Structure formats: structure tokens, C-alpha cells
Amino acid sequence: MKYVLLVYDDPKQWESVTDEQMADLYKEYAAVSQDPASVGGAQLQPVDAAKTVRIKNGETLVTDGPFAETKEQLGGYYVVEADSADKALAIAARIPSARMGGSIEVRPLVEM
């Protein structure tokens, strides 16, 4: 089964990270990408580059920013193939954001 690992971060958490720490963190993110279970993923641009589309009464409305206003913002995702939810959760626990004040949402994909 495939799972998507949605990476949520508070952007303020990253303000105090040094360049050296960032280099080490990127190595950890890359290690998750290189895991044999990983079948895709990407880092997202900051939320100020996002647009949200809604349709109300047949009219398309486009607003700046993410859908919900929260402290944590979706910063990227991985798609992994795992034999069980426990395996997907174990991979998610390796993502640095999980220990840096963020969270990783693990959700099974509907495969067609």
C-alpha cells in the first residue's frame, strides 16, 4: 500500500537553524528520499507562493495563501510504499520536522 507523508512545519522553527545544521538536516531528508520504500516526494515553495481555489455559487474564487491559517504549514511530502501502516509511521518518524516542532501526517493513498 502507498502512503503519503505530509510534512508540516512552523516556519519560525527554522529561523534559528545554522547553515551547518541545515546541511545536516537536508542529509536526513535526502536519506528518507533515498529509502527503498520512497517512490516520490518534493519540498514545496513557501506558503506566500500558494493560491487557494474555491467555487461558490458557480463562481471560481482564487485567494492568496494556503487553505487554512495555521501555525504549521505544509512544507513538503513523501510518497512511500510500505507493507503496513507501522512501516510508514517508522519512516515518518525519521523526518527531521517531526522532532523540530512540526508534524508528519501519514495517510494511505487510494490507488486506482
pLDDT in tens, 28-77: 999 999 999 999 999 988 878 888 888 889 999 888 876 655 677 889 99
Cα Rg of the chain, angstroms: 16
* Pairing of β 51-56 and β 59-64: antiparallel
Domain interval for residue 27:
2-108
Least confident of 9-13, 45-49, 87-91: 45-49
Asked if residue 80 lies in contact with residue 38, where contact means CB atoms within 8 angstroms, the answer is yes
The C-alpha cell at 86 is 507501522
* Per-residue cell: 28: 536526513
Q: Residue 53's beta-bridge partner residues?
A: 62
CA distance 63 to 52: 5
Which three cell numbers mark 1?
Answer: 500500500
Q: What pLDDT is recorded for position 95?
A: 95
Angle at 12 between CA 11 and CA 18, to 5 degrees: 95
The count of domains in the chain is 1
105 vs 73, which has greater pLDDT? 105
What CATH number is attached to the domain comprising 9?
Answer: 3.30.70.1060
Report residue 87's pLDDT band, with 50, 70 and 90 as the boundaries: very high
For the stretch 17-28, pLDDT in tens is: 999 999 999 999
